[in-house]
Structure formats: structure tokens, C-alpha cells
Amino acid sequence: MPERDERHITGTADDMRAEQAASRAVDEAIIDPASMLPAYVQLAILLRAMIVTRRLPVGTMLPSEPELTSRYQVSRDTVRRAIQVVRELGLAETRRGVGHFVRRTPEIRRVVLAPGSRVFVRMPRPDEQDEYLALLVYVITEPGKLPVTYDTSRTLLVAPD
């Protein structure tokens, strides 16, 4: 069985392609009113993804409340709650009278899945949450073997080419 390829998203061609694919997914994302997740959580996940994929690098201003309201067709209160979540994660800070700015980019590793792997995702229990907005991902590479567990706050899983 091939070893998993684990690297930080920094600069290899494969890393950059994975980051670009994740960035395209963010571009196409919408807020789903039928989702089990509240709209503000969905928006916070999208903002976090923009930061993780470095579409919003450290020091960059987050899109304004009116921009987010218009782009995602949500209320201003939804936008404010989403930004508050991103601030609570330590990813953004507010400069009163100026706007909200990216404070840090979390370190993310890219993991290339072995061919034929099965992937299962679930919400973490409160005692398992390392960072808010993360999902637990279980990857089974061979039947009968224990799954490898990842959390989406620190890992970008990539299907093999």
C-alpha cells in the first residue's frame, strides 16, 4: 500500500494545485438555506476557507458586511455572527472604524489519499473539537484496518491523480 503523502501547503506544484482547487470550491460556494448548519456557520466556514487557501492573506481586510450580505444573500446579522466566529477562532481581528482583518493563517497539511480509500465524515463531539468549524474525517485504506482520523481544521484531503 502506498504511503500517505503529508506536507504543509507551502509551495510544491501539487500543493499549489490542491490549494487552487480548494479556492475554486470557495468561489462556487453558496449559503444553503436548507442546510442543517445555520447560515452564519456556513458563512464562517467560507471565510475560514478563504483564509486557509490564502485568498485572504494575513493583513488583508475581510470583505465588507455589505459585500458579504449581497454576495451570499444573507442578512447583516448573519454576516456579523459569522465574522464573530472567525474572530473567536483567532483568524481575524477588528479595527474599529476600519474593518476586519486576517490575523493569522492556520497551518494546513495536504494528505493525498491512497487509491481505493473510503472516506467518512462526521461532526465532532464537544470533547473532540480542537477548533470550531472542523469536521472529523475517517479514511479507511484497507478493509479490516482501523481508519486514520483527520480534522478539517488542519488537513486538506486530496484524491490521487
pLDDT tens digits for 8-63?
A: 445 677 767 777 777 777 778 889 999 888 999 999 989 998 898 888 999 999 99
What confidence score (pLDDT) does residue 130 get?
62
Q: Cell numbers for 151, please give them.
A: 480534522
Q: Pick the residue with more confidence: 80 or 20?
A: 80
Q: Give 92's Cβ-side CA count (13 Å radius).
A: 25
Domain 9-102 has CATH 4.10.320.10: no
Top pLDDT among 58 and 144 is at 58
pLDDT at residue 100, as a whole number: 97
Domain with CATH 1.10.10.10 in the chain: 9-102
Strands 99-102 and 92-95: antiparallel
In this predicted structure, the answer to whether residue 154 has a pLDDT above a threshold of 50 is yes
Cell numbers for 37? 448548519
Contact criterion met (CB below 8 Å) for 60 and 102:
yes
Each residue of 100-131: pLDDT tens digit?
999 998 888 888 888 889 898 877 777 776 66
Q: Taking a C-beta distance cutoff of 8 angstroms, is the pair 111, 89 a contact?
A: no
Asked if 72 contacts 31 with a C-beta cutoff of 8 angstroms, the reply is: yes
